[in-house]
Amino acid sequence: MDPIILASGSIRRHEYFKTLHLPFSIMVPGIVETNDKNLTPPELARDLAERKINAILKNLVNRIPPWICAADTLISLDGEVIGKSKSRTEAKETLLRLAGREHEVITAIALFNGKEHKTDCRTDTSIVQFAPLSEAEIEWYLDTCEWQGSAGAYKVQGLAACFIERITGSYSSIVGIPVRELYLMLRDNGYEYS
C-alpha cells in the first residue's frame, strides 16, 4: 500500500488511520483558518481541507507524493460557524447557545491523488442534539478544560457526551474524519489496499 501523508495534527484522525491499517506519515499544514471569501459552512469546510492539501504540496516543493489526505471539521448553528473558544467566557457563551438545541457538525475530507494530480473533496454533515444545560453543568464542564482547542467548545468523545441526547449521522465524522467517506474516496480514486 502506498503511504498517505495525513495533513493533520489531530490525534483522533491519527487513530482512525491506524484502525484502518493505512500506512501514513504526518505533516501539519499550519494554515490560518479564515473565511475571507464569506463562504457557507460546508463551502468553508471544503475550502479549508483543500487549502491544507495545497499547503503540504507547497512545502514539498518539487516532490509529488502519491497521496495526501486532509480534513476540516466545523460546527454550524443557524448557518453560523462556531469556532474554537479563545477564553472560558467565550466557551460558556457557546455552550449556552448550544444547550437544548440541534447543531450541524460538518466535516470536509480532501484526498490528493499524486498519480493523477487531482484532489477529490467531499463533505459529511451530522446533527447533534444537546440537552438543556444548567449553569452548574456548564461550569462543571468548563472546569474540566476539555473545551479548549475544540470547535463548539466541546468534545463529543469526552465528558460532553453526558450532554448529548442524540446524534444523527456519523460519529467518526463528528470526531474528525468520516471513515465511510474516507474508505469510499480511497476506493473511488484507485487506492490499493493490498
Which residues are 167's β-sheet partners?
128
Q: Which three cell numbers stand for residue 178?
A: 468520516
Contacts of 116 (CB under 8 A, 6+ apart): 189
Burial class (CB in 10 A: 0-12, 13-18, 19+), 31: middle
190: which DSSP letter?
A: T
> Has 72 been annotated as catalytic?
yes
User: With contact defined as beta carbons under 8 Å apart, do 53 and 119 qualify?
Assistant: yes
d(CA 52, CA 58): 10
Q: Any idea which residue has 472546569 for its cell?
A: 143
Q: Which of 2, 72, 78, 188 is catalytic?
A: 72
- The continuous run of DSSP H or E covering 141 comes out as helix 135-144
Active site residues per annotation: 72
